[in-house]
Structure 1
Amino acid sequence: MKKVCVVISILAVMLVSGLSGSAWAEILPGEMGISVMGGGYGFDDENDLLDLGKTFTLGLGYNFTRNIGTELLFSYVHSDADVCCSDDDVYMYQGQLDLLYHFMPEGSFVPYLVAGVGGMMYDDDNIEPNEIDDTFQVNGGLGVKYFITPNFALRFDGRYYHGFEDSSNEYALRAGLEFQLGSTPEKREAEPCTDADNDGVCDDVDKCPDTVANVRVDSEGCQIKSEPYAVMEKSGETAQPVAVSDVPPPPPAPEMMEVVIYFDFDHTQVKSLFHKQLEKLADHMKAHPELNAAIEGHTDSLGAADYNMELSRKRAESVKQFMVENYGIEASRFEARPMGETQPAEPNNTAEGRRLNRRAITITIME
């Protein structure tokens, strides 16, 4: 029982200390991971035959969803057996299939709960028959993964094992590394969704599905109220303007256009979801060669401020390069403006707010 308390105490300290960490990665469905860990393996207090052992573990995991994953672990355990007047080496082999539940999967610090089934096999000629038997085991525990990069994490794991053959109670505390396989920008890019009004908000969450083209919208797909409203109604296939007495006419404004696109965490790739909007911007600039465009790059607040400023510059440059290479707009007509995390569109204290802050804004301006 003392060993259980030690394991829980150490993991609790790691959980608390990691809550202040800044995020670099996230758990994503469909990704596989390889874990390499080492640590200590303790035996039942009533088992005076085996001493505290050393364990080496190799794991192969798969994420079904952001929260739920599975893992196959193989462990080698070495201990000493107190036989007669000397200590003899005892070698054990452990296999288990576990189910993991990840908390806060969108960040770098990912606590998890785990439970599974498996077994332990003993391999030693120095132990008398029936002193220690191979056994079927169930296990449970908790741990944390701390991502240093999107593909690489530190890992800490504590387990309790119950053996049915001899009603044994055993414990393991491990630390090691985890490598995420296939974590590329292309794979992390969100699957394309239906966006009928091309405002950058998917139809399944768009509360204003008939937004007029070329206006800035909020996270629910509705035109931002601080801007002059374009009031439209549907007539067949074409949106037609209607007169609304309580809506003032928009003031005269120079010919301009604004496009907002969003990025995956720690990435700069322009997603296919926003290609249509950028194509409209290109057509607009080709039709009005007197117009130039400013491209603002933004980030959420996770990570160091200097890193986020450089990331926002790369996002703005990525949009500029996309416009030049795909639509032939002269590079001299664009100005990249890195903003870092200094101008959030939404509060950064939620995952949704951080998603909306990972953006680039292109604005055409008169010159």
Structure 2
Amino acid sequence: MKHLNRFLLATLCILSFSTMQAQDENNPWAISLGVNAVDLYPTGEGDGGDAISSTYYNEFFNATDHWNILPALSRISVARYIGSGFNFELAGSLNQIDKIGDAPANDLSYYGLDGTFNYSFRSLTGDGWLDPVVGAGAGYTWVDDEGGATLNGTAGFNIWFSDNLAFNVQLGYKHSFDQDQLPKHWQHTAGLKFAFGGKDTDGDGIYDKDDECPEVPGLAEFNGCPDSDGDGIEDRNDECPNEAGLAEFNGCPDTDGDGVADPKDECPTVAGLKEMNGCPDADGDGVKDSDDECPNEAGPAENNGCPWQDKDGDGVLDKDDECPEVAGTAANNGCPEPTVEVIEELNEYSRTILFDLNKATIRKESEETLQSIADIMKEYPQTIFHIEGHTDSTGSASYNEKLSRERAASVRQWLIGAGIPEKRMTSEGYGETQPIASNNTAKGRQENRRVEISLDKDREMKETEQDTTDM
């Protein structure tokens, strides 16, 4: 074939064109490889050399008689997307002319170099598989040693198999400006188009312009963003991107299936309660098992989940029992109270206490008696005792009241010195107002001059109320 170097030169120009321009990351390139058919019918005989006659279109698809087809790769083009559906295509083609219309030819060589601006209707219809295209441009064509410039018009379509591969068909008309050198004619092409050139920084097959995570490899279904754990929730919306989880927990797992996601579950491997942050509470006492010292026995949180004990079995819980080792009464905060017999015993001792005549001074021989009283009182450390002083009716009432008060206070002070807490004793003098015998006889007056010990219930009640107020 003559002048093959022309086609090689055209091909070199086309291929080098792709590197002559800076590549736009958002506007890919495309290379088309295919075959072309050149139709020179009619030759112009009888019609002033016009390549298109009134009868021409009757023979437009008469490929067998009129088309010159080279059964090999005979056309290559490079196209660059410009924007808004437009691209510019530079194409080089070669062919072998063995018929001009119905007349045979003597193996004429055919070379074409064309530049075309194309518009794709796919930009209007969306990213469908059918891509109708029209175009217009110019070129230069040689037939053997003769050549000339042409004004070109094209129409065709692409059928896209994927984002990068399409089958291309194009019908083209070339209008020659110098018909003495080059007749008007048609050139039709078919081949494969390969789209390329978009920037894909992370190499995930999704161009940066469509990639919502262009720096990290991802998946097409997530617009280029990754799903590291493969749970169907993209990493940017996944609170646990490296652990497969559930959508209801924003991608986090729930290992124990208790409805609490593992990151919020304080016991992620044991099914528990939401109100316990995923931990179990076997005894239902509101204290999670991990903090419950008695996990199978309900108890209050303030006692670490264990029930309060009552060691002495007196019905007063140890937490409220001021005498937890000794049975007592609720009225005395769990401590024992003196019985009637104990009070009587105290009074038997107290009635034998002797004072100096008309004085509050306790005689020395009564100290043993007082110590016995102190020993009994120590057995009841929570009981408040009331010490009463009494006299007979001899003397004035005011004097007797003063003397009885001082004697009761003297006994109280002695017991304080013996180790009885001050707050556990009260004292008062009643003078001659509470006789237990007649003041008309010596024996009766002796019985009326006495010290008695009783329980100060009023004082106990007041102290209990005070303690409650202070809590």
TM over 0.5: no
Of Structure 1 and Structure 2, the greater strand share is in 1
Higher relative contact order (CA 8 A, sep 6+): 1
Of Structure 1 and Structure 2, the greater helix share is in 2
